[in-house]
Structure 1
């Protein structure tokens, strides 16, 4: 094997002079601990099942009755209409954000299902879904998918600070 770095005689002498009086380090006999399995994280298979289960609710054929006038909004019948007003004003601060830019409809459905499953798992009450403007395909489909899911209490077009008309704030029902 060829030596890549060769020092000049002067540099070798300078090095030896600078390390005079030092002792070599003794090798530690302590073995590093074996890595433990983290039991806090859910198995990947369970996460995948949650995601698939959550995206099961999204149908392209079903058209929920949403208001066509004004901003995109929806509230389940058993939820107070005051909640929509609080969403519109920005009283709820989203803890999770999902950016759907550049995704296909199938990918967006999968990610939306994963977001809702994550919100339930992490006890997140409000999330923001950024669908963007684009060709208005995801902008039209996202509210229809969200209105079909049983864990969604409601949604409203996001205030300007969270994306304006290119995003939705979603309220998720949590277990007590």
Structure 2
């Protein structure tokens, strides 16, 4: 039977230094507290579907409720509305007679059937000549336009001349010569023609 002797101080110091660097081969067992089952905990199953997160409750929504009290559309004004909203530059009494078809145009030009490239110089020459002759009221016939097959991504306007002529009449070189533009009365062509009231030459 081996006899155990007490370590000397220098041997005790060496032993403590070695013990501090040693690691246990087995992890110490966890102490089971009273009331705990003596069974290891079950690891969660990664393949078990999780409970879906509860979604916040949204208030009920009705289609179109954000547009209540607002106009259903925001379309550009028609040519008739634009011309009617323009300020009256000519004599008010003469303007009333003109819009009612009571004034007879002193000259007319028919652009119906022309392309935009053909009609523009014709209109310029007609207006400048009419003013140089001292005429005041002339009639410009554009036609109402015909509905054509439209296969492009951008919708085409019906009646290109009818839309373009009022723009031309406001621009140089004929803009300074024009005092008033109005849609013609039915007896003179209605929406397919325009009254153009010219300024006097000074």
| Cross-structure match for 2:176 | 150
| Cross-structure match for 1:104 | 115
SS of structure 1 residue aligned to 2:127:
helix
| Cross-structure match for 1:166 | 192
Structure 1 unaligned runs (5+)? 1-65
8 Å contact from structure 1 (residues 127, 170) kept in 2: yes
How many residue pairs match? The answer is: 111
Q: Aligned equivalents of 2:78 and 2:91: distance in 1?
A: 17
Matches within 5 A, 1:114-129: 114-129=125-140
Report the TM-score when normalising by structure 1.
Answer: 0.55
8 Å contact from structure 2 (residues 90, 179) kept in 1: no
Matches within 5 A, 1:1-176: 68=78, 70=80, 73=83, 79-80=89-90, 82=92, 83-134=94-145, 135-148=158-171, 149-176=175-202
Query: For residues 168 and 115 of structure 1, do their structure 2 counterparts lie closer, same or farther at Cα, with a shift above 3 Å needed?
Result: same
8 Å contact from structure 1 (residues 79, 153) kept in 2: yes
| Cross-structure match for 2:54 | none
8 Å contact from structure 1 (residues 99, 130) kept in 2: yes
Q: RMSD of aligned C-alpha atoms?
A: 2.6
Structure 2 unaligned runs (5+)? 1-75, 146-157
Q: Aligned equivalents of 1:114 and 1:80: distance in 2?
A: 23
User: 1:56-97: CA deviations, max 9, x gaps?
Assistant: xxxxxxxxxx96364562697682472543321123211111
Q: Report the Cα offset of residue 122 of structure 1.
A: 1.4
Larger Rg: 2
SS of structure 2 residue aligned to 1:73:
helix
